[in-house]
A and B are shown apart, each in its own frame.
Chain A
Amino acid sequence: MATDTIPTVADLERPVDDVPHEINKYDFITQTTGVFKARKGLNREVVAQISEMKSEPGWMRDFRLRSLEIFKSKPMPKWGGDIAIDFDDVYYYLKPTEGQSKNWDDVPKEIKETYDKLGIVEAEQKRLVAGVKAQFESEVVYGSLQEDLGKQGVLFTDTDTAVREHPELLRQYFGKIIPPEDNKFAALNSAVWSGGSFIYVPPGVHIEFPLQAYFRINAESMGQFERTLIIVDEGASVHYVEGCTAPMYTTESLHSAVVEVIVKKNGRARYTTIQNWANNIYNLVTKRAMAYQDSLMEWIDGNLGSHLTMKYPAVYMMEPGARGEILSIAFSSKGQHQDAGAKVVHCAPNTSSRIVSKSISKNGGRSSYRGLCKVEKGATGVKSNVVCDALILDHDSRSDTYPYIEVEEQDVSIEHEASVSRIGEEQLFYLMSRGLTEAEASSMIVSGFIEPLVRELPMEYAVEMNRLIELQMEGSVG
Chain B
Amino acid sequence: MSQFFPVGPAGDFADPSSTLVDVDDESIVLIHASGRFYALDDVCTHDGGPLSDGPLNAGDDPPSIECPRHGAEFALADGAALTMPATKPTRAHEVKVEDGQVLVRLCD
Binding site for B on A (CB under 8 A): 70, 176-183, 288, 290, 316, 318, 345, 347, 376-378
**CA–CA, A345 and B81, complex, Å:** 15
List 5 other contacts, CB 8 Å, given A177-B84, A179-B71, A318-B87.
A176-B83, A288-B84, A345-B87, A347-B87, A377-B45
- In chain B, positions 49-83 with a C-beta closer than 8 Å to chain A are 66, 70-72, 83
Min CB–CB distance A290 → chain B (angstroms): 8
Of A70, A178, A376, A378, which contacts B84 at CB under 8 A?
A178
Residue B85 interfacial (CB < 8 Å): yes
The reply to whether A181 and B87 form a contact with Cβ atoms under 8 Å apart is no
Min CB–CB distance A111 → chain B (angstroms): 36
Of B66, B85, B87, B88, which contacts A182 at CB under 8 A?
B85
Min CB–CB distance A454 → chain B (angstroms): 32
| Main SS at interface, chain A | loop
**CA–CA, A377 and B88, complex, Å:** 8
A-B contact count (CB 8 A): 35
**CA–CA, A129 and B66, complex, Å:** 43
Min CB–CB distance B49 → chain A (angstroms): 11
Closest to A260 in B: B84
**CA–CA, A378 and B45, complex, Å:** 13
Min CB–CB distance A410 → chain B (angstroms): 16
Binding site for A on B (CB under 8 A): 45, 66, 70-72, 83-85, 87-88
Of A176, A181, A378, which contacts B88 at CB under 8 A?
A378
Min CB–CB distance A447 → chain B (angstroms): 37
Q: Which residues of A contact B87 (CB under 8 A)?
A: 316, 318, 345, 347, 376
**CA–CA, A182 and B69, complex, Å:** 8
Known interface pairs A176-B83, A181-B66, A376-B45; A347-B71 also in contact (CB < 8 Å)? no
Q: List 22 A-B contacts (CB under 8 A).
A: A176-B83, A177-B84, A178-B84, A179-B71, A179-B84, A179-B85, A181-B70, A182-B84, A182-B85, A288-B84, A290-B84, A316-B84, A316-B87, A345-B87, A347-B87, A347-B88, A376-B45, A376-B87, A376-B88, A377-B45, A377-B88, A378-B88
Name which of A70, A181, A316 has the most chain B CB atoms within 10 A of its CB: A181
Closest to A348 in B: B87
The reply to whether B88 and A183 form a contact with Cβ atoms under 8 Å apart is no
The reply to whether A181 and B71 form a contact with Cβ atoms under 8 Å apart is yes
Q: Which residues of B contact A376 (CB under 8 A)?
A: 45, 87-88
The reply to whether B84 and A183 form a contact with Cβ atoms under 8 Å apart is no
Min CB–CB distance B81 → chain A (angstroms): 10
**CA–CA, A347 and B72, complex, Å:** 15
**CA–CA, A288 and B46, complex, Å:** 14
Q: Which residues of A contact B71 (CB under 8 A)?
A: 70, 179-182
**CA–CA, A121 and B83, complex, Å:** 41
The reply to whether B83 and A179 form a contact with Cβ atoms under 8 Å apart is yes
Min CB–CB distance A368 → chain B (angstroms): 19
Q: Which residues of B contact A181 (CB under 8 A)?
A: 66, 70-72
The reply to whether A176 and B84 form a contact with Cβ atoms under 8 Å apart is yes
Min CB–CB distance A213 → chain B (angstroms): 24
Q: Which residues of B contact A176 (CB under 8 A)?
A: 83-84
Min CB–CB distance A64 → chain B (angstroms): 16
Min CB–CB distance A407 → chain B (angstroms): 14
The reply to whether A182 and B45 form a contact with Cβ atoms under 8 Å apart is no
